[in-house]
Each structure stands twice: as structure tokens, then as C-alpha cells.
Amino acid sequence: MQFHFYPIAVAIVSLLFSQAIAPPSSGIKSRTAIDDSVSKQAAISLQGALNNIGPDGSEVPGAGAGFVVASPSKVDPPYFYTWTRDSALTLKMIIDEFIFGNTSLQSYIEDYIHAQAVLQTVSNPSGTFLPAGLGMGEPKYQVDGTRFNGAWGRPQRDGPALRAIALITYSNWLIENGQPSKAKDIIWPIIANDLSYVGQYWNQTGFDLWEETQGSSFFTVQNQHRALAQGTQLAEDLRVTCTGCVQAPEVLCFLQSFWNGNFTVSNINVNNSRTGLDGNSILGSISTFDIDAYCDSPTLQPCHSTSLANFKVLIDTFRETYSINSGIPVGSGVAVGRYAEDVYQGGNPWYLITTAAAEFLYDAVAQWKARHNLFVDETSLAFFKDLYPAVQVRQYNSGNAHSPFVEIMNAVTAYADSFVAVAEKYIPANGSLAEQFNRDTGAPLSAIDLTWSYAAFVTMSQRRSGRFPRSWGSRNAITPPATCPTSSLSTKGIYVPATAAGAPNVTSSCQVNVVFNVNASTYFGENLYVIGSAEDIGAWDVENALPMGAGGYTSDRPLWSVSTYLDAGETVSYKYVRQENCNQAWLYETRNRTLTVPACGGDAIMQEDAWVGPGGAAGTC
């Protein structure tokens, strides 16, 4: 690839590179030198991800075949679990690498298919697989694929969408390589369950990818749309029916509502005091990137004007947030974190989001080059001004090496490279990638060897060297209606265990939806569970009690809530129980309660209770 620095970018990039990674006496580190460091780090990163996958991953003894462990870190933070999101994003990277030619990776894909077919059927605190797919909203499991029973931000509705995207990508490869029946008989049943889930629940709130905020998350909705749109296409190719896919235009319509005129509000339908500026939005656009997309596509690609405007506003917040970014001028890359108000593990920049910022820019450049033009409008003007001050609101067509179009492409590419340089500056010599790096010193911290950090470095390096997954068909996505409909926003899913891929043939007793609501004032760090005689609420074993959520807790109403399914017609005794913050004894309600589940086919019931029993007290741990 030819590379011409735009003069201002040269000054900025050279300043940065000389601080960052250049040997003491040299000036600018050449693009070739960065090429070398990026390809070395990409190789380390691919291996780093594989080391965290069972059964043979060197860092994760005990993990089952095909299960991707988030990090080998067992305490502080405890990440020795398998998250559906991290796993699907990692496998999407592996599937793309496989398609690009790394055939040695196929066994990881095969193991993943089997592992996920089983996992879909595992009952967990988000619910059961049958009859209604609720269990698939569970964010994480033990590394052998069994349920995790602790309190958590659940459900998280991006998991099924991301898994479907990974599996659809692989299925398309199988079709093109003469194995359509494998795609149809073995993999489609898993995808069909995931798309059923998306079509049924996309319009309900859930926890965001950072597992903190209950509401509607841009990242989730954007991936849900891609899954349904791409699933529609695959279902046609395989001549099968996709239940849920009809929701795609509705989801795309909803996606438009995250834009507030200045930036993408990453979490809406929430009750928190954040601005909504969040790396969520960058990650969403790179996950749904389509090299063939038009830049005005409502799928909100990296090259879309609102995505670019949002990128600038968001990145500028991090310029002020972290002291390691101080003095870096606009138009030059910085360390990027989740969101400015973040306090988790100290609220620091993340490797995977810093490299995602670079990937986003490489994606946008690739899209403009593929379209041979660029439309700068009032919305995107400020983004370009930082990089190419002479920019105007107009159309730029591709031209020779000194054309403004090419100069703008070079400036945006140099900007992308400058984010890579920042990431590399803070990567230790052995290439290991933790989750975060210290906002003041740049030292790595939080979970070590984070699989997602490694996967994100690999995808960034592929985009940087001009390698893109094939189009997922964004051009064929049905245009959303001008005004979003307010009814028919859900399609009842059809859930069938994917037995051909190895799922157990689970069956369901007839169950009815029961919602437990209890008012219970708690201190921060204390959690509530429901426990009772029915198997689904722990059969009086507190280790299996059903965790409740505090997403609706306000100062006016201390509401804890959980929605579950219980066997039709049974009479159940239950009570609420408090889990204390420092492993003190559980605190039980002092009375037993009773409910009778309606007969099969009956309507959902809601228990409205108020805590009766001792209040909790925070420990000192």
C-alpha cells in the first residue's frame, strides 16, 4: 500500500512516534517499522487468544472443548468464565482468519459449534431454554459450560446475535465450499435458536456489553440487526425458515434513535447520569462493518457521517479524561476507554477499545476507497477538520496521489496509525495484553491475557493491511419505515435443541411466566435472591437460589425483580434471601410465602411483595 503523509499529520505522528516507540536517536518510525511491530503483535495476539480456549489452551486447564475463557485471571478480577459475547467475537476473528487462509484453525470452529449447541440448552438464572429461549440471555457460564449462579447484570441480549453472526459467516463459507448440507443440518439449528431469541426479545431492555446498565444498548441493537438481516439471507440460501428475521427492519428503525444530533447516545431507556458517550458505539460499528456498504446506509457504518461525528466527540472526551493523553493534540490518537465516567478497576483506557478506534478508521478509509468517493457534510465536517483543515462540505472523488481525496485518505490512515502507536506504546515487551492500562502511568492492569484484547488486535491488524471479511449483505437490508412502528415488535420464537451439533434433547414441562417483585432496601454490594421449593428457584438450596436484579431500583422504590418460568399448576413455597457483601451469613426472610402457578397455557403472574425480616449490614472486607 502506498503511503503519503499529509504534512500536519506528519508533524503530529512524528511527535507521537518519537515519544512512543522510536529508538532514541531516530526521527519518525517508518510505516514499514510499524508494519513489523503490528504483524509481530498480531501473531502473539492470535496465539494469546488460542491459549485461552479449551480443551488444550495452555493458560486455561479445565476449560471444556470449544469454550473460550475470558482471561486466566481467577481473582481480582475473576474472569475465569466463558462469556457468550467475548467468545463469539473471538470466534468471529478465528473464522475470518480461517477464511483468509489459516486452515489450522478449523478445529477451534468445530469445537465452538458443539460447545454452543450444548450451552444453548443449559438452564441458568436467566431462565431455561424451553419453552421460550430465556436462558440464552445469560451472559456467562463456568468454563466447563455449566451454569453460573451468582448475581450478575442479566440478561444481556447481544450474545445470541453475536454468536449467530459468527456461525452465519462460517455457514456461508461452507456453502461456498461445497458443504451446504453441513450448514443446513448441523449449524443452522443453532443459528435459528439465536435468531428466534433476537426476534422475540430485541425490543425488551437488557444489560449493555459492559454489564452495568439496564436499557437499550447501541452495540446490542446494531448487532441484532446484522444478525437478523444476514440470517434472512442465509435462510433463503438454505431454503429454511427464519423465525424472527422479519423483525430486521423494525430493529434498524430503532437503531436510528440513538443519535441525539451531536453524537450517538450508547445507552438509551436508562436512568443514569452519564452523557452516553461510550466506546460501545465504535465497537458496534466495527462489528457490523461491511466493505460493500454505502456510507449513508442506515446500518451506521464507520464511514457514516454520524459515526464520524460521534467518533470525534467521543475521542475528545478521553483526551481530557486520562493524564497519559495530556498534551496530545486533536487529530492524533489517544488511549481510549469505555466511557469517561467509568470507575471499574480505576476507570482506565482499554487495549481493545484503543485498537478498535484504529480499526474503525481503517474501515472507513476502506469504504471510501471502495466507493471512490467521500461526501463531507455539516455533520462530519468537524471530524475531518482536525485531520485536513482545508476540508469543505462537498463531494470528493478519487483522483491521483495529490488529489484532496487521496490526501484525506492518507490523513485518516495516519490518524488510525497513531491509535495503534498509542496501544503499542503501552504493550509490554512480551506482547501480553491485559484488559486495561493505567490512566496515569500506562502500566497494564485488570485481567491479564484478556482474550478479547487479543482478538481485537488481530482484527485491527487485518483491516490495517487491507484484509476485510466479505460483505454481509448490508445493501440488501430492508430499509426501515419512516416512522418506527409501535406494535408487532416481537415474534414468538421457536426453540429446538440443536441435537445434530450435539445438544442434549431437552424437553420442557409446561411452564408459565412468574415475575417476582419485592421491595427491599439494600446497601451497595448486597444482593437479593428468591429461594423456594421448586427446582427452578433452587429447591431450598441457597447455592442454587435465583438471583434478582436491581435495574428498577430507585430512591422512591427499592425494587428487586426477576422474571422466570415455573411448572404449570404447581404450588410453590418461597421466600427472599439477602447475600451480604463480605461472605457473612445469608439473611432469610422470617416468613414463608406461597404461590400457585396457573395451569398450562395460563397468563404470566406477578408477585408483589415487601421484604419481611432482618435488614443487612455491610461488612468490612
Residue in the structure block whose three cell numbers are 478521553: 318
**Position 83 contacts ligand NOJ (CB under 6 A):** yes
Residue 326: all three cell numbers together: 495530556
- The stretch near ligand NOJ (CB under 6 A) out of 79-87, 96-104, 385-393, 426-434 is 79-87
**Position 86 contacts ligand NOJ (CB under 6 A):** yes
211 is catalytic: yes
CB of 520 to ligand NOJ, least distance (A): 20
**Position 80 contacts ligand NOJ (CB under 6 A):** no
Measure the CA angle with vertex 594, ends 123 and 579; round to 5°: 55
- In angstroms, rounded to a whole number, what is the distance separating the alpha carbons of residues 447 and 435? 5
| The amino acid at 70 | A
- Residue 604 is given by DSSP the state P
Which helix (H) or strand (E) segment holds residue 264: the answer is: none
Q: Name the active-site residue from 59, 96, 208, 526.
A: 208
Q: Which residue's CB atom is positioned nearest to ligand NOJ?
A: 344
CB of 211 to ligand NOJ, least distance (A): 4
Q: Which residues pair with 579 in a beta bridge?
A: 527
Residues 47-76 that bind ligand NOJ (CB under 6 A): 70
CB of 301 to ligand NOJ, least distance (A): 23
| Contact call for residues 349 and 444 (beta carbons, < 8 A) | no
- The stretch near ligand NOJ (CB under 6 A) out of 39-47, 207-215, 403-411, 458-466 is 207-215
**Position 405 contacts ligand NOJ (CB under 6 A):** no
CB of 267 to ligand NOJ, least distance (A): 13
- In angstroms, rounded to a whole number, what is the distance separating the alpha carbons of residues 426 and 334? 11
Which helix (H) or strand (E) segment holds residue 28: the answer is: none
**Position 209 contacts ligand NOJ (CB under 6 A):** yes
79 Cβ partners below 8 Å, 6+ apart? 69, 70, 71, 72, 73, 447, 450
Which residue number, 367 or 436, has a Cβ lying nearer to ligand NOJ?
A: 436
**Position 311 contacts ligand NOJ (CB under 6 A):** no
CB of 210 to ligand NOJ, least distance (A): 4
Residue 608 CB neighbours (<10 A): 10
Residue in the structure block whose three cell numbers are 512512543: 20
CB of 434 to ligand NOJ, least distance (A): 11
Does 560 count as an annotated binding residue? no
CB of 124 to ligand NOJ, least distance (A): 16
* Choice from 79, 148, 202, 405 touching ligand NOJ (CB under 6 A): 79
* Choice from 344, 375, 540, 586 touching ligand NOJ (CB under 6 A): 344
- In angstroms, rounded to a whole number, what is the distance separating the alpha carbons of residues 457 and 460? 5
**Position 85 contacts ligand NOJ (CB under 6 A):** yes
- In angstroms, rounded to a whole number, what is the distance separating the alpha carbons of residues 238 and 56? 34
DSSP letter string, 320-354 = HH-GGGTTPPTTS----BS-TT--GGGT-BBHHHH
| Contact call for residues 180 and 234 (beta carbons, < 8 A) | no
> Which whole-number Å values give the CA distances from 147 to 81, 91, 214, 416, 574, in the listed order?
10, 21, 22, 40, 22
- The stretch near ligand NOJ (CB under 6 A) out of 111-119, 205-213, 264-272, 402-410 is 205-213
Binding-residue pattern over the window 131 to 170 for ligand NOJ, x denoting contact by CB under 6 A: ----------------------------------------
**Position 452 contacts ligand NOJ (CB under 6 A):** yes
Which residue number, 275 or 345, has a Cβ lying nearer to ligand NOJ?
A: 345
* Choice from 210, 360, 426, 565 touching ligand NOJ (CB under 6 A): 210
Which residue number, 71 or 332, has a Cβ lying nearer to ligand NOJ?
A: 71
CB of 94 to ligand NOJ, least distance (A): 17
Residue 132 CB neighbours (<10 A): 20
- In angstroms, rounded to a whole number, what is the distance separating the alpha carbons of residues 557 and 232? 43
Q: Are strands 206-207 and 214-217 parallel, antiparallel or unpaired?
A: antiparallel
Measure the CA angle with vertex 351, ends 440 and 334; round to 5°: 60
Residue 264 CB neighbours (<10 A): 27
- In angstroms, rounded to a whole number, what is the distance separating the alpha carbons of residues 327 and 320? 10
Which residue number, 83 or 384, has a Cβ lying nearer to ligand NOJ?
A: 83
Residues 212-231 that bind ligand NOJ (CB under 6 A): 212
CB of 70 to ligand NOJ, least distance (A): 4
Which residue number, 210 or 576, has a Cβ lying nearer to ligand NOJ?
A: 210
> Which whole-number Å values give the CA distances from 161 to 80, 199, 224, in the listed order?
23, 10, 5
Instruction: Give how many residues touch ligand NOJ by CB under 6 A.
Output: 11
**Position 341 contacts ligand NOJ (CB under 6 A):** no
Q: Name the active-site residue from 211, 237, 316, 570.
A: 211
Which residue number, 246 or 340, has a Cβ lying nearer to ligand NOJ?
A: 340
The 3-state secondary structure of 455-502, one letter per residue: HHHHHHHHHHCCCCCCCCCHHHCCCCCCCCCCCCCCCCCCCCCCHHHC
**Position 351 contacts ligand NOJ (CB under 6 A):** no
**Position 92 contacts ligand NOJ (CB under 6 A):** no
Residue 411: all three cell numbers together: 490523513
536 is catalytic: no
Q: Which residues are annotated as a binding site for substrate?
A: 152
Give the footprint of ligand NOJ on this chain (CB under 6 A).
Answer: 70, 79, 83, 85-86, 209-212, 344, 452
Annotated binding site: 152
Residues acting as catalytic residues: 208, 211
